Structure 1
C-alpha cells in the first residue's frame, strides 16, 4: 500500500517552458481544456502588470507555448497551480 501512495504523490511544479494548453490544464484540471485555456487567457489579460511583463520580451501572444520566463511571471502573479 505504501508504494501506491508514493506513486500517487505529485511531482513538484517546475519552472520550465510549457505548452499553453498544458499549463492551463494544470491551473484548471477539472474543466474541459478549451475552458481552461480561456480562463488562463482571461486571468492574464485582466492582470495588466502580468500581461505587460509577459509580452515585453521576445515572445508573442500567438505562440503555442509559454517560455520559462513567462511561466516564472505567471507563478509570481498567480501562484503555483
Structure 2
C-alpha cells in the first residue's frame, strides 16, 4: 500500500509541537531547545523573528503563522 505524504501547513503551532515535528525522536524539552539553537544560529532568521515580535512581558508558547513561515523559509519544512 502506498503511504500518503502529509503536506505541511503554515499555521499557528505551539513551540513544542513544531519542535517535535523537526525532531520527532527527541524528548519534548530537548527538541524545543534544539529548535531554539537552530533559530539562534541562523542570523537572518533570528533577526527577522526579533523584528516581528510584539513587545510583551509574558512568555509565549506558540509561533504565529508569520513566524512559522519564516522558520520554514530558512530551515525548510520539518
Q: Which moved more, 1:57-66 or 1:21-30?
A: 57-66
1:59, distance to aligned residue in structure 2 (A): 3.9
The reply on whether 1:79 has 2:62 as its aligned counterpart is no
Q: Distance in 2 between matches of 1:41 and 1:64?
A: 12
Give the conservation status (yes or no) of the 8 Å contact 1:17–1:67. yes
TM-score using structure 1 length: 0.83
Structure 2 unaligned blocks of 5 or more: none
Which structure would you say has the larger RCO, counting Cα contacts within 8 Å and 6 or more residues apart?
2
TM-score where L is the length of structure 2:
0.86
Structure 2 counterpart of 1:13: 8
Over 2 Å off, 4+ runs: 58-62
Unpaired runs of at least 5, structure 1: none
Aligned length: 76
